[in-house]
Amino acid sequence: MKKIYGIFVILTLAVCILAAGCVGTGGSTSGEKVLVVGEMWRVSSINPGDGHDGGTFVTEKAIVTETLVGANAQFELTPNLAENWKQINDTCWEFKLREGVKFHNGDEMTASDVKMSLDNTVRLSPSTAKLMSYDHADVVDKSTIRIYTTDLNPLVPGVLHYPDTAIVSSRSYDANGNFVNPIGTGPMKVESFNEQTGELVVVKNTDWWGGDPGFDKMIMRGYENPSTRAMMIENGDVDFTTDPPYSDIERLDALPDIHVEKYNTPRIYKLDVNLAHETMADLNIRKAISHAIDRTGIVDNVLYGVGAPAGGVFLPSMTWSNKSLVPYSYDPALAKQYLANAGWMDTNGDGYVDKNGKNLHIKIYTYTERPGLPPMQEAIAANLRAVGIEVEEVSMENSAMNAAMADGSWDLYLSAMNLAMVPDPEYVLKSWYTTTGTGNKPGYSNADVDRLIVEGHYISDLDERYDHFREIEGIVYDELPTINIAYYGVAIVMKDTVTGYKFDPTAHDYRIDPFMTITA
């Protein structure tokens, strides 16, 4: 462990105590390869079906559980625990399971386990049930299950890529149906979980159907402060972490025993616009804001190249994205013209545009856990001030955000949102842009968009389906209920003793690669 002097020693010890013991990195000790991971969120759940954070964590990061359906780098669906699937009729899908897959307790995975798993997921997570239009599932035979929906739903295979639908053994629940421990099929299995500290320890599943994992044990702890994550890996307390402050990336990468790898992920930095405010409801204002933002400058100078300027909602690499949508140009003069079109001009020479004796004042909220958000907020605020808009910046921990914004006084909300938990365009567009969408924070309502999304839901042919949703993506690009800033990039920071890591571009934040290894 590297020595750090003065106050940094005290801070490090304090962090380690809070993290349950300050156990350093394992490396290859007594022949056991131990990987210590500094996760970006506190581990609050290890139940994949709870509809919260458990599914993403145990499926993608702890790699304890697996889903029926996978996805490739283009976000096309691929076999996983299910070898193939087909639609029997409008409301029935049949899935053939991979044979010979065993749970961590040695039991063979069967269709009965899959039915139990899905039944419990939809019981615990009504949003997942709604997304799948789940009615019930029937076991056809040991390796075949049929899933029945309440209506025609082409999304079903895509939803079964969603981490919350990961499959666990029926023995993961007690006799009363209460969840105890995730007994999955993945490359690692749970050894212990401390609910007080959030520390999870998993060990190699030597009978994994996918091959032989490259390490024996993984210890995962959550450090929500980006600076803490940087300090922990620099001090040698973790072997693998993500998203330190982006301003630290070059310095960390230059250290002799650490390297940094940067990747794009299916996530976007966007500004939700509060359309309940008369000013924000004016398209001229939204266009002025969009043209005032220097997206390239933000990516280069705020994100330090971790990401890319955003045009449409979806990454260009996504097979269904509307690739004709380019980032709004950075054009302060045009932004001022749009402000003038809305009646906002600097009439008194104070540098701020005004109307009816009042300056145009905008309040921007964001949260602090993701390292790109606070400095991006500052850069956007500076861009807007440069065209004459007064800006108030508010940032806080994500857990306090909903309460702080409940009074509706916010104008813009800067966030980093996932785009492919379900690999299909309907999932995002329906949630963000339909009048009753669960993620429609702006309060956007367009009858044509509502109608088109309903119509698109029933299109099964993928070429036709994707063309249909590209049209919708184009409409919201023009109307700007959300202002897209940049596609999210993730910085993976590893000790040089960690080798063979392969990034999964479809993961929520990142996926631990079971075949990477760690040496002394």
What is the pLDDT, as a whole number, of residue 15? 41
What is the pLDDT, as a whole number, of residue 14? 45
Do residues 92 and 134 both lie within one domain?
yes
Cβ atoms 328, 320 nearer than 8 A: no
Q: Is a pLDDT exceeding 60 seen at residue 2?
A: no
The band of 22, judged by pLDDT with boundaries at 50, 70 and 90, is: very low
Question: Cα 303 to the chain's mean position, in Å?
Answer: 17
| Other CB atoms within 10 Å distance of the CB of residue 456 | 22
Q: Is residue 182 part of a domain?
A: no
**Where a domain ends, among 204, 238, 256?**
256
Do residues 92 and 220 both lie within one domain?
no
Cβ atoms 102, 209 nearer than 8 A: yes
What is the pLDDT, as a whole number, of residue 505? 87
Do residues 466 and 353 both lie within one domain?
yes
Q: Is residue 469 part of a domain?
A: yes
**Where a domain ends, among 172, 201, 216?**
172
What is the pLDDT, as a whole number, of residue 398? 84
pLDDT in tens, 92-138: 999 999 999 999 999 999 999 999 999 988 888 888 888 899 999 99
Q: Is residue 187 part of a domain?
A: no
Do residues 37 and 146 both lie within one domain?
no
Do residues 154 and 248 both lie within one domain?
no
**Where a domain ends, among 204, 229, 256?**
256
Do residues 269 and 248 both lie within one domain?
no
pLDDT in tens, 228-247: 999 999 999 999 999 999 99
CATH number for the domain harbouring residue 20: 3.40.190.10
What is the pLDDT, as a whole number, of residue 179? 84
In this prediction, residues 372-394 reach a mean pLDDT of: 97
**Neighbouring residues of 175: CB distance < 8 A, sequence distance ≥ 6:** none
Do residues 279 and 233 both lie within one domain?
no
What is the pLDDT, as a whole number, of residue 128? 85
Q: Is residue 411 part of a domain?
A: yes
Q: Is residue 185 part of a domain?
A: no
What is the DSSP code (8-state) at residue 312?
S
CATH number for the domain harbouring residue 329: 3.10.105.10
Q: Is residue 178 part of a domain?
A: no
- 367 to each of 360, 395, 404, 413, 415, how far by Cα in Å? 24, 5, 11, 9, 7
pTM over 0.75: yes
Least confident stretch, 8-17, 143-152, 217-226, 267-276: 8-17
Do residues 52 and 96 both lie within one domain?
no
What is the pLDDT, as a whole number, of residue 29? 53
Q: Is residue 25 part of a domain?
A: yes
What is the pLDDT, as a whole number, of residue 17? 37
Do residues 155 and 197 both lie within one domain?
no
Count up the domains in the chain and report the number.
3
Locate 149 and state its tokens.
Answer: 């929906």
Q: Where do the H-state alpha helices sit in 125-199?
A: 126-132, 156-159
- For residue 208, the enclosing domain spans 7-59+193-256
Q: Is residue 179 part of a domain?
A: no
CATH number for the domain harbouring residue 90: 3.90.76.10
Do residues 317 and 416 both lie within one domain?
yes
Do residues 444 and 306 both lie within one domain?
yes
Do residues 105 and 210 both lie within one domain?
no
